[in-house]
Amino acid sequence: MSFQKDFLWGGATAANQYEGGWDEGGRGPAGPDIMTNGSRGASRLITLKLRDDLHYPNHIGSDFYHHHSEDIALMGEMGFKVFRMSISWSRIFPNGDDIIPNEEGLQFYDTIFDELKTQGIEPLVDLSHYEMPLNLTLKYDGWANRKCIDFFLRYCETVFYRFKDKVHYWLTFNEINVATMPIGNFMSLGILNPGTVEFYHQVDDVQKRFQAIHHQLVASARAVILGHSINPAFQIGCMNTMMSTYAATCDPKDVLQNQRYWQMTNFYCGDVQVRGEYPYFAQRFWKENQIDLNWREGDAEALRNGTVDFFSFSYYQTFCVTTHVPKDMVNANMTRGAANEYLKISQWGWPIDPDGLRYTMNELYGRYQIPLFVVENGLGAKDQVEADGSIHDPYRIEYLREHIRAMEEAVEDGVELMGYTPWGCIDLVSASSGEMEKRYGFVHVDCDNLGNGTFERRRKDSFHWYKRVIASNGEDLS
Ligand code: BG6
């Protein structure tokens, strides 16, 4: 048997895409609350004022806020060992800079963690998954402002103390490295530069963006130190998105460009979070881009002492990097790249590459030598509800089966793997397109792209399949 006995099988969600209840229970607005729905061809819009003629899908998400007992029971039925979720920061500190936390928000998560415990499910909690209180964007320019470190730590301290006996696995920032690309400005860093209207075409200030990443890295490290001081048994990980790529040709120029891509996109943040200092290649990047980071006393020490216990990551696809004009382009999580003729693509144009997961895991483990955790993976696809209410999703089962096989191979290769939480285990709003119909779940949620529907939950074929996978600890993939 490849997977360890206590392998953490489960599923993953994020408050902003799943929880809903955006203006209930004392919660303040967060960044994604001002993003409209988009589609594969049309970018989501970011509107400072809410418009009556537009739809803001994150307001209701999948309405977990009112369906949590039912959803957690379904997770229990599948045999989940772990549930990855995030706390909505603005449910705890509605404005981000408040002094006193919102008790009703804390009680909501008390209920969630208690319900998970009843089902024997461990929570794996993201402190920040693509959202921060909107007030911090409007008043402070998001993470560009160093003050956000202290606001974030006040929030961390509150939830670490409150949930110290209920939560043992924590993640600091979701896909922190997305901000190495301009698309990370708003969702990841809470920066809304003047002139930005479309999520896919954000006005960028590279100096500001990398300064904001520095603030997040310091905040992440200080959160790790703080968490360990509150409960030494806490396991605190980083979370990076693996934008795994191949050189499109064996032209050495392509190979070098691909190497540079891995360094600056995949490793820039992870190296700091695991090794405690910026990688050597950052120097040249800063110089060539006229980036002059502002360091304060204590930053270097925090980075050095706040290294993580494990490395978690998302993996969806691969694409190619080239210095030549590519024949075809494909979509990928938050970006685009050169097509790979050996790979099929999903309905949203993302290449499907299970071998790439094994390759990625070996790259990561070889570099960091700490346990890995695949906390996001999956296929966004349209589902058809049959007249009898059943949903047949063999495409999703095939995608997941091949990726589990790839993880198994990586474990055989010697990689240490803690667990697997496929993305959007219960259907939720897509981060990049804001659509509901880009579904990842084992459980269908009756809601369309405009928020119409009953929000009734239905088990898909993949639900029953995944239940068998978990029960057999990955042996039965049939
Ligand atoms: C990751 C994010 O980038 O990919 C999730 O952490 C996101 O928030 C997921 O939902 C899938 O991307 P999308 O755009 O299909 O929702």
Choose one of 423, 425, 436, 437 to mutate for the ligand 1 pocket test, by most ligand atoms within 8 angstroms of C-beta: 423
Measure 376 CA to ligand 1 centroid, in angstroms.
8
Angle between helical axes of 103-118 and 64-78 (0-180°, round to 10): 20
pLDDT-derived band at 198 (thresholds 50, 70, 90) equals very high
Q: What is the mean pLDDT of the chain?
A: 98
Confidence at 1, pLDDT banded by 50, 70, 90: low
For ligand 1, mutation pick of 16, 188, 238, 314 (most atoms within 8 Å of CB) = 314
| Residue 45 CA to its chain's centroid (Å) | 20
In this predicted structure, the answer to whether residue 58 has a pLDDT above a threshold of 70 is yes
**Cα(422) to centroid(ligand 1), Å:** 11
Q: Is the CB of 430 inside a 6 Å radius of any atom of ligand 1?
A: yes
Question: pLDDT digit string (tens) for 214-260?
Answer: 999 999 999 999 999 999 999 999 999 999 999 999 999 999 999 99
User: Which atom from ligand 1 is nearest to the alpha carbon of 430?
Assistant: 16
DSSP 184-226: HHHHHH----TT--BTTB----HHHHHHHHHHHHHHHHHHHHH
176 lines ligand 1 (CB under 6 A): no
Ligand 1: residue of 186, 200, 265, 333 to mutate (most ligand atoms within 8 A of CB) is 333
The residue contributing the CA closest to ligand 1 atom 10 is 431
63 lines ligand 1 (CB under 6 A): no
> Quick one: average pLDDT of 135-162?
98
Q: Is 353 exposed, middle or buried (0-12, 13-18, 19+ CB in 10 A)?
A: buried
Answer yes or no: is the C-beta of 84 below 6 A from any ligand 1 atom: no
Over the stretch 452-476, which tens digit does the pLDDT of each residue have? Answer: 999 999 999 999 999 999 999 999 9
Contact 314, 376 (CB under 8 A): yes
Mean pLDDT of 118-142: 98
> Which atom of ligand 1 is found nearest the CA of 178?
3
Q: What is the pLDDT of residue 323?
A: 98
Does the beta carbon of 241 lie inside 6 Å of ligand 1? yes
Query: For 30-50, what is the mean pLDDT?
Result: 96
- Check if 313 has its Cβ closer than 6 Å to any atom of ligand 1: no
| Whole-number pLDDT of residue 40 | 86
Q: What is residue 266's DSSP assignment?
A: I
Q: What does the pLDDT read at residue 130?
A: 98
Q: Catalytic residues, which ones?
A: 175, 376
- Mean pLDDT over 81-97 rounds to 99
Q: How many CA atoms lie within 13 A of 450 on its CB side?
A: 4
- Statement: residue 3 has pLDDT above 80: yes
Q: Name the closest-CA residue to atom 9, ligand 1.
A: 431
Distance 298 CA to ligand 1 centre (A): 34
User: Strand ranges (DSSP E) for 101-160?
Assistant: 122-128
Q: Is the pLDDT of residue 350 over 70?
A: yes
**CA 375 to ligand 1 center in whole angstroms:** 11
Distance CA 103, CA 111 (A): 12
Note the pLDDT of residue 41. 85
Structure tokens at 222: 């200080």
**403-452 pLDDT tens trace:** 999 999 999 999 999 999 999 999 999 999 999 999 999 999 999 999 99
Instruction: Kindly state the average pLDDT of the residues 28-33.
Output: 98
Cβ-contact 38, 107 below 8 angstroms = no
